[in-house]
């Protein structure tokens, strides 16, 4: 075989494999959206079809109106945005000293503690966390979820932001310092404005983690009015019957905000995630 034709075959093979990969990752979404648009009789067809005979928005209407999904969306938004803001403030501060004062004992200890804390996941602390939240009177409130989500994203957010600070020259701060600005002032008015892309990616990470979290939302809230979207989806799974059309419509609604944000900001997101993951 000539080199050119060999190269052509390998390109074809690459495309075939890439297409298979895309089918593997995207098919469930495609099927989710299609099922959400199918009327009840087509959902329950013995042989499911790739075409929708009579597309309908009934499932979405039912989910939003009858099942109060607007309330769950609002709850998820409030909790995720609050957790996102809170964890950004905390890890912007911690990440800064992680980057600038790495040699200090206090910083190294904190770094190690954060690394370890990333390895102690929620389920092992479920019981005492539940009891703590109950004692604080925070069960069935946004507070319990905001505090829990913030805590569990702090380590990775700090690692991500500290590596972002690493790429900003200290001369920038020194100039401000000579002008007589305080450390905090320098940080907020000189350093942070340069960090916007990294802050966006860390904020996204925190928001998406909170939006997608299930276990704490499921266990810390039992009032319907405060339920977040992921535990609400689980409610569709009844003991005997499942409203699959409604369930798939609800799933589309839960995925949509994250998918839209991601499509716009994927460049920042992936690079930010990587710098944190490799470092941590």
User: For residues 101-160, which are near another protein according to CB under 8 A?
Assistant: 101, 104, 106-107, 110, 113-114, 116-132, 147-148, 150-151, 154, 158
Q: Which two tokens stand for residue 130?
A: 């539940």
Least Å distance, CB 43 to another protein, is: 7
Among the listed ranges 16-24, 61-69, 159-167, 168-176, the one in contact with another protein (CB under 8 A) is: 16-24
Name the segment binding another protein (CB under 8 A); options: 58-66, 67-75, 88-96, 163-171: 88-96
Stretch that binds another protein, among 51-59, 163-171, 191-199, 269-277 (CB under 8 A): 269-277
CB of 119 to another protein, least distance (A): 5
**Alpha-carbon distance values, 23 to 18, 37, 112 (Å):** 9, 20, 41
Q: Name, in order, each residue with C-beta under 8 angstroms of 82's C-beta and a sequence gap of 6 or more.
A: 142, 146
Query: Minimum distance between the CB of residue 26 and another protein, rounded to whole angstroms?
Result: 6
- Cα–Cα distance, 134 to 152 (Å, whole number): 19
Alpha carbon distance, N-terminus to C-terminus of the chain: 47
By CB under 8 A, what part of segment 58-77 binds another protein? none
Residue 262 makes contact with another protein by CB under 8 A: yes
Kindly indicate which of the ranges 40-48, 58-66, 77-85, 167-175 contains the residues binding another protein, using the contact rule CB under 8 A. 40-48
Please name which of 157, 271, 250 lies closest in space to residue 208, comparing C-alpha atoms.
Answer: 157
**DSSP codes of every residue in 118-158:** HTS-HHHHHHHHHHHHHHTT-TTSHHHHHHHHHHHHHHHHH
Is 91 among the residues that bind another protein (CB under 8 A)? yes
| List 160, 161, 199, 254, residue binding another protein (CB under 8 A) | 254
Q: Considering the complex, what minimum distance in angstroms separates the CB of residue 198 from another protein?
A: 15
Contact string 214-253 vs another protein (x = CB under 8 A): xx---x---------xxx-xx-xx------x--xx--x--
Query: Which residue in 259, 269, 265, 232 sits closest to 76, CA to CA?
Result: 232
Figure out which of the listed residues 81, 90, 138, 192 binds another protein, where binding follows CB under 8 A. Answer: 90
Instruction: Tell me which residue of 129, 130, 136, 142 sits closest to 227, measured CA to CA.
Output: 142
Distance CA 159, CA 94 (A): 9
Least distance from another protein to the Cβ atom of residue 169, Å: 18
């Amino acid at each position: 075989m000539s080199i050119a034709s060999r190269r052509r075959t390998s390109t074809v093979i690459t495309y075939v494999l890439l297409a298979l990969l895309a089918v593997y990752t995207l098919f469930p979404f495609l099927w989710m959206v299609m099922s959400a648009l199918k009327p009840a009789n087509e959902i329950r067809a013995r042989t499911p079809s790739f075409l929708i005979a009579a597309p309908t928005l009934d499932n979405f209407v039912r989910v939003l109106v009858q099942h109060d999904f607007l309330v769950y969306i609002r709850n998820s938004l409030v909790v995720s945005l609050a957790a996102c803001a809170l964890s950004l403030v905390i890890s912007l501060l911690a990440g800064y000293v992680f980057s600038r004062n790495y040699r200090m004992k206090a910083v190294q200890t904190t770094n190690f503690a954060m690394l370890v804390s990333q390895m102690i996941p929620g389920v092992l602390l479920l019981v005492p966390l539940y009891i703590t939240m109950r004692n604080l009177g925070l069960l069935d409130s946004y507070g319990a979820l905001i505090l829990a989500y913030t805590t569990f994203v702090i380590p990775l957010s700090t690692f991500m932001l500290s590596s972002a600070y690493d790429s900003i020259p200290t001369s920038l701060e020194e100039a401000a310092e000579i002008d007589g600005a305080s450390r905090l002032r320098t940080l907020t008015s000189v350093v942070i404005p340069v960090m916007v892309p990294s802050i966006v990616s860390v904020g996204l990470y925190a928001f998406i983690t909170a939006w997608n979290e299930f276990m704490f939302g499921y266990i810390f809230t039992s009032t319907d009015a405060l339920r977040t979207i992921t535990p609400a989806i689980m409610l569709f799974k009844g003991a005997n019957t499942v409203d699959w059309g409604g369930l798939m419509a609800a799933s589309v609604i839960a995925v949509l905000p994250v998918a839209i944000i991601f499509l716009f900001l994927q460049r920042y997101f992936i690079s930010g995630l990587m710098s944190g993951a490799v470092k941590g």
